[in-house]
Amino acid sequence: MNATEKFLRYIKIDTQSDPTTGTHPSTAKQFDLMRLLERELTALGLNVSTDEHGYLYSYIPSNTDAPAIGFIAHMDTEPVVSGTNVRPQIVEYRGGEITLRSGAVLSPDRFPSLQNYVGERLIVTDGTTLLGADDKAGVAEIMALAEYLVKHPEVKHGKIGIAFTPDEEIGEGADFFDVEKFGCDFAYTVDGGPIGELSYETFNAAAATFTLKGRNIHPGAAKGKMINCCLIAGDVLSRFPETETPATTEGREGFYHIGSVVAGVEHGSIELIIRDHDRQKFEERKAFVSNLCKQMQDKYGKDSVSCEIKDSYYNMREKIEPHMQLIENAKTALSRLGITPSVLAVRGGTDGARLSFMGLPCPNLGTGGHNCHSIFEFISCESLEKGAKVLKEIVAVYANA
């Protein structure tokens, strides 16, 4: 099967992760895809190892003297948008709007990147679920690479490591990753973005939770006694800068993102994430949140507001810069295929960010996906095949270095 056929097979399996379960993996259904991939790799004659946490490791033995390269993708999909009963549609795109089966409209006015795919075959959703290109496109492209190398033993390559991880979408994809077992000198995550994107810089990231405690008194006798968490929540939210949200920033601009607000009179909580590429600015943002908590304590009482801030991952640039051959070799591979490399700072994170700090330098390659985490997600069949070719060419660059 080619990458497109593999992709269409994999997206039928619901693999949504869930940040509320506290288990690893967070959902048992992620094992369904892991077991399918295990069967496919075993059928190719490869050694495969899986574990109770939902990680799959495999490798293709080297047939020449070249570095051990790893390719990594995650199996889970975003928890917020349904991944159940994905019903893809392939559209011969001639331009203009695409009306999905649900009636939702995928429009180039709203999503200008569509215009780059006129004349290609787009895989879109039915408008009720996400598609799963993040990151089953990466899974499919890596699996296509594995099948190609096994069926073409004349192609020279070093050891090729393959790993598929769970729970990347909830920030836990590297929690139980065994770098030593993987046994590679370095790796590439293959995860999202147009073909040609190459990233070795991510956000620095933290999560923060405000916990609010109020006091309920009969409204008719509440003066000087009631503490209303709904009003505290509103006060907290009003202190965040309006121009520093995901919807008002781009490029290397950081932000605060309010993920959820739950409040009644006596209890409340606010969950948010903090992001910035610059480490100093990142620390300043965390300090802003800590100081905001203190301001609320001074205003409403120390017991009324508390805040916990927890770092999630750091910008992997500092771990990649000593290994810039990873970037230069990927650029060479892209250029050989006539693809203009686009080196971008990721406005997010990847498993590679944490893996780089765990001793496995790991930049990211685009897979061809667009509008991830959305019913408007799409990817072209041509991009899937190009993605697989990019991986093959990267292997060739290292083998012939």
- 370 exposure class (CB count in 10 Å sphere: 0-12, 13-18, 19+): buried
Q: Do the Cβ atoms of 290 and 226 come closer than 8 Å?
A: no
Q: Which residues of the chain have pLDDT under 70?
A: none
Instruction: List the domain boundaries for the chain.
Output: 3-202+315-399, 204-313
Output the pLDDT for position 388: 98
Q: Do the Cβ atoms of 264 and 212 come closer than 8 Å?
A: no
* 126-to-91, 151, 377 alpha-carbon distances in Å: 11, 35, 10
Q: Which of 324, 382, 351 is closest to 72 using CA atoms?
A: 351
Token pair for residue 185? 């000198």
Q: Which of 38, 76, 134, 197 is catalytic?
A: 76
Output the pLDDT for position 180: 96
Superfamily of domain 3-202+315-399: Zn peptidases (3.40.630.10)
Output the pLDDT for position 192: 76
Considering the segment(s) 204-313 as one domain, its CATH architecture is 2-Layer Sandwich (3.30)
Cβ contacts of 89 within 8 Å, gap of 6 or more: 100, 101, 123, 124, 125, 126
Question: For residues 92 and 124, what is the distance between their CA atoms, to the nearest angstrom?
Answer: 11
Catalytic residue list contains 278: no
Residue 78 backbone dihedrals phi, psi, to 5 degrees: -55, 135
Catalytic residue list contains 168: yes
Tell me the pLDDT tens digit for each residue of 263-316: 999 999 999 999 999 999 999 999 999 999 999 999 999 999 999 999 988 999
Q: Which of 14, 168, 351, 393 is catalytic?
A: 168
* Helix, strand, coil share of the chain (percent; to 5): 35, 25, 40
